[in-house]
Amino acid sequence: MELLERFAAGDLEAFEALFRRHQKEVYRWTVRIVRDSGIAEDLTVETFWRIYRARTRFDPVAGNFHAWARRIATNAALDHLRHTRKETELSEDFPAATGSDPAVRGELRGHLRRAFLELPAKYRVVATLALIEQEPYNEIGDAVGISVALVKVRVFRAVRMLRKKLSPLGLEVAAK
């Protein structure tokens, strides 16, 4: 508690201690959203810069620093996704037909990647966290700053958009 109070008051040593304590978790969370370790490193720095600038708005008594940092990290990642159209690689464990030809799996992965990249950023974030990372809806809602009901709506809409893009190719998208 004292550390958070010192941080909110502008103590640089308290900020550095919080940075050391939460840096890895913020990085892990960010890389799960943007799917690129180099960009996640940059966004982790950006997140802590935003945290430091917003320190006066943090309530050290009632606030949960971990949740607050995760929300700021999510917003930084969402800003990044909105402003860039980059090639994002899906993880190798992304669901694919088992036992099928490697060329077919590669083509499927390409179609899925393009379909995900075409989703609006607000849907891409929740779809990535829910469908690929399998995060609980309540954690996604907390991180994005929306209700669980809205997370469910966005996942539903993202799946519907993915189905629309992939069904002409004969591909099925299963909902969570």
pLDDT of residue 106: 74
Mean pLDDT of the chain: 85
97 or 65: which leads in pLDDT: 65
What percentage of the chain reaches a pLDDT higher than 70? Answer: 85
Query: Do the Cβ atoms of 21 and 4 come closer than 8 Å?
Result: no
- Phi, psi values for residue 153, rounded to 5°: -65, -45
Contacts of 71-74 spanning 24+ positions with Cβ under 8 A = 71/142, 71/143, 71/144, 71/145, 72/47, 73/26, 73/29, 73/30, 73/43, 73/44, 73/47, 73/143, 74/29, 74/33, 74/125, 74/143, 74/144, 74/145
Of 69, 63, 62, 65, nearest to 27 by C-alpha is 69
Q: How far apart are CA 95 and CA 108, in angstroms?
A: 10
Q: Return the amino acid letter for 158.
A: A
pLDDT of residue 88: 44
pLDDT digits (tens, 9 = 90+) for 103-160: 766 777 787 888 888 899 999 999 989 988 889 999 999 999 999 999 999 999 999 9
pLDDT digits (tens, 9 = 90+) for 50-60: 999 999 999 98
Query: Do the Cβ atoms of 35 and 128 come closer than 8 Å?
Result: yes
Q: Which domains does the chain have, with CATH numbers?
A: 2-83 (1.10.1740.10), 102-169 (1.10.10.10)
Q: How many CB atoms lie within 10 A of CB 58?
A: 17
Position 47 pLDDT exceeds 90: yes
Out of 62-66, 69-73, 87-91, 101-105, least confident range: 87-91
